[in-house]
Structures are given as C-alpha cells and as structure tokens.
C-alpha cells in the first residue's frame, strides 16, 4: 500500500524545522504538496533537493480565509498539516498580539476553510507540550487539563481547544499532536538550544545556557516526529473515532538542558566550557510526555535516540555551515 501516492497535501509552516522535513518525506512518498508561506526563506529545508514532485508554493497569511478556501478547492487538498505558527517563546513575550493572531486566529481560519471544503479527509493540528502548563513534576498525559499562563503556551492551548471544538461540533476530521522539543538539521532559529549550541561549537565559541541548566525537557528527533504525524494522518483518514483526540509525541527520555549541551560538546569532541547565564528564571522546571496513546493507537515508536539524533544533527550543520 502507498497511502500518500498522488494524495494532495497542504502544509502550513513549511519553512519551519518540522515542516521542511515533512515536505521532503511526503515528496519521497509521491504526494503532491502545496505549502502556504508567509515569508520567503531561501535557506529553508523546504528547498533542499529531494525525490518526488516539487511543492507548489503559495504566498499568503494563515488568517486569510478566502485564500485558504481557494487553495483547498483549486488544489483539491485531501490532507492538511497545520504547523504554521509563531513558535518562539521570547517573541511571544515581546509581541503577544502577533503571536495570538498567528497561532489562534490562524488556527480557526484553517479549520473553517477545511470545514467548507468537501475534499479534506484529515487535518493534523500541531499543538505543543507547552499547552499543558505546569504539571508539578508529573509526565503529561493527554487527559490532563490544560493550564498554561505564558503567552506562547496560552496560544497553543487555545489552538488546541479550537481544534477539538471543530471535531466535536462539526465532526471535522481533525486530531492534534502535543510534542516535546524537536531537533535536527535545518533549524535556523539560533535562539533555540540545539541549533544555537551547535553553531557556537562549530565556530569555536562557548555555548550559552540562558537558564541555570537544570530545567528538564523532552526532545524528539525530527524524522521521528514526521513519522508520528504521518501515522496520525493515515489513521484519521480511516478511523472517525479518533477525531478530536490529542497524541503526545516524544522520546520519553527527558534530560536537563545542561545534559543536552554536554552531549553536543561530546559528539563534537570539543573541550569548550558552557557559559551559564542563569537568567531564565521563569521556565518550568520539568516537562515530560507520556506517549502510551501514540504507541498503542498509532503504532508509532521513535527510532532515533538522543545520541544518534544529535550526531546526525551535528553532521548536517557541519556540512551546511562550512
């Protein structure tokens, strides 16, 4: 069976880390891909050479419902991966309104356009582990209440609730992912821990840890994340019973920020010492995900552990930053 051959897909957020790898994988599976892009990002993973048909690029904004309806109708889109969002926590603090416009209004615009389109069979909406808020040291499970307070976290929780509302009220074929921190080649948001640390190390600079290094986080290699998204979309197309459900995706091996930096230094065979600023005082001390539902209902299991994933990631940046 080739479930993606000639199956037309819309990806929002295609210039991001996950979006770029997802587009590449869909192309390799024979799926015609349409990407809605707000900004042109010439060095995005989206534009890397690869097998399969080149994606159709549509310039526009997530909040433009008329444009979304035109694309869904004219391109006869059958599956939608809604990844488009403002994803940087610091930006959300400095400019919350633009973050809420993109992440909340953008989500209802996509879902409303899909509701009006008879061809759409599945919609996967990217929520986040940040939507849970503080679980006071417990691993997140999908049936926990969402209790965020920070601007970015609230935006993802709102998008999460809106998606579930569309499933419950109009039986929209939508499900959600709540994931840990993605990492892999192609992420050029240098303020993030993994790409920022790798770039510093490759250039001989001390990597910077903005916190004290103690916060614990889940990490997931990007190709494992892509496999989870595809598995969820395929299940959505055949099982209406999972509409409105959320699925956690992570490797289930949470580590401290300091451990991640030390691993990158070890993989790079570097003797540099991290510069620990201790300035990020409002971060949650512990975030981890229980992925039992995804493993049992979707048959998804991550294949790449943190050491192997970081080795692949470092090799990608060594090639592309040379």
Name the residues annotated as catalytic.
Answer: 152
Number of other CB atoms surrounding residue 135 within 10 Å: 17
d(CA 9, CA 123): 10
* Joined tokens for residue 96: 């919350």
Residues facing residue 9 across a β-bridge: 33, 79
What does each C-alpha distance from 6 to 31, 52, 243 come to in angstroms? 5, 11, 24
Cα 191 → chain centroid: 16
């Amino acid at each position: 069976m080739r479930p993606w051959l000639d199956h037309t897909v819309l990806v929002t957020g295609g210039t991001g880390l996950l979006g770029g790898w997802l587009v590449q994988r869909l192309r390799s599976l024979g799926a015609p891909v349409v990407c809605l892009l707000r900004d042109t990002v010439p060095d995005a993973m989206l534009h890397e050479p690869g097998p399969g048909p080149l994606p159709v690029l549509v310039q526009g904004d997530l909040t433009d419902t008329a444009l979304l309806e035109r694309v869904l109708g004219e391109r006869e889109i059958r599956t939608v991966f809604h990844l488009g969002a403002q994803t940087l926590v610091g930006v959300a603090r400095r400019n919350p309104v633009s973050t809420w416009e993109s992440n909340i209004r953008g989500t209802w615009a996509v879902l409303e356009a899909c509701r009006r389109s008879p061809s759409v069979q599945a919609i996967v909406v990217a929520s986040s582990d940040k939507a849970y808020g503080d679980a006071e040291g417990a691993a997140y499970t999908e049936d926990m209440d969402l209790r965020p307070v920070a601007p970015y976290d609230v935006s993802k929780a709102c998008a999460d609730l809106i998606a579930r509302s569309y499933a419950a009220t109009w039986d929209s074929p939508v499900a959600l992912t709540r994931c840990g921190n993605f990492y892999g080649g192609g992420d050029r948001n240098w303020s993030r821990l993994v790409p920022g640390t790798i770039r510093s190390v490759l250039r001989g600079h001390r990597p910077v840890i903005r916190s004290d290094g103690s916060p614990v986080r889940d990490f997931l290699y990007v190709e494992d994340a892509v496999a989870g998204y595809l598995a969820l979309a395929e299940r959505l197309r055949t099982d209406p019973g999972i509409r409105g459900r959320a699925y956690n995706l992570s490797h289930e091996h949470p580590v401290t920020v300091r451990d991640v930096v030390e691993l990158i230094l070890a993989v790079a065979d570097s003797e540099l010492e991290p510069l620990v600023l201790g300035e990020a005082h409002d971060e949650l001390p512990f975030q981890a995900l229980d992925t039992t539902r995804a493993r049992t209902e979707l048959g998804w299991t991550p294949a790449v552990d943190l050491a192997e994933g970081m080795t692949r990631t470092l090799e990608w940046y060594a090639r592309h930053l040379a």
